[in-house]
Amino acid sequence: MLIKLINAKNTLEIGVFTGYSLLSTALALPSDGKILALDVSSEYYELGLPIIEKAEVAHKIDFREGHALPLLDQLLQDENNKGVFDFVFVDADKDNYLNYHKRVIDLVKDEGLIGYDNTLWCGSEAAPPDAPLIDYVKRYRLHVIALNKYLAQDSRIEICQLPVGDGITLCRCIT
């Protein structure tokens, strides 16, 4: 729905996994819409690819395998890539969310949107420091907290945190 509301045509997805959000984005884009999809491994993308192909939206997707930070750095080296994306969705390694933000902010057009998934991180945001948390939640908790603090003070964006699922933070670029 967000893709349609903002009339997005050019999107970026960091962290593809099996392609559920990728498929949803591709279905919402117009026929000439494009998604640049980045993931560290093509294994899971290929698992979801038959469904993407069955939905007849594979032509909208440019999948690139590799670590997202160097791929983003490559994009930023070309001035023509700055401000080209209408929408960016990040659902990848939580310890790099802040690093991703510092890069994608320059790739998103003015009034474009950036969406970060899992920004409530199993409710650990509100938990006291000594709360008993499972290991994977503990491991990334401080990274998610750091991202949320950074986003709250970043004057280049307006933010809205949606308390659905594990939390989604939407950032509207106002640079």
Q: Directed axis angle between helix 68-77 and helix 97-104, to 10°? A: 10
pLDDT for 124 equals 65
pLDDT for 138 equals 66
pLDDT for 2 equals 92
DSSP string of 69-134?
HHHHHHHHHSGGGTT-EEEEEE-S-GGGHHHHHHHHTTTEEEEEEEEEE-SSGGGTTSS-TT----
DSSP string of 132-171?
---HHHHHHHHHHHHHHHHHHH-TTEEEEEE-STT-EEEE
- Indicate whether this model's pTM tops 0.75: yes
Give the C-alpha distances (Å, rounded to integers) separating 50 from 16, 19, 20, 37.
Answer: 15, 10, 12, 16
Quick check: 149 pLDDT over 80?
yes
CA 67 from chain centre, in angstroms, equals: 14
Question: Using an 8 Å Cβ cutoff, are 145 and 127 in contact?
Answer: no
| CATH T-level topology, domain 1-173 | Rossmann fold (3.40.50)
pLDDT tens by residue, 7-38: 999 999 999 988 999 999 999 999 999 999 99
- For residues 167 and 79, the model is more confident at 79
pLDDT for 86 equals 98
* Phi, psi (degrees; rounded to nearest 5) at 32: -100, 10
pLDDT for 56 equals 97
Give the C-alpha distances (Å, rounded to integers) separating 164 from 20, 111, 136.
Answer: 17, 23, 20
pLDDT tens by residue, 85-133: 999 999 999 999 999 999 999 999 999 999 999 888 666 676 767 777 7
pLDDT for 143 equals 85
| Amino acid at position 98, single letter | L
Nearest to 35 by CA among 88, 109, 83, 90: 88
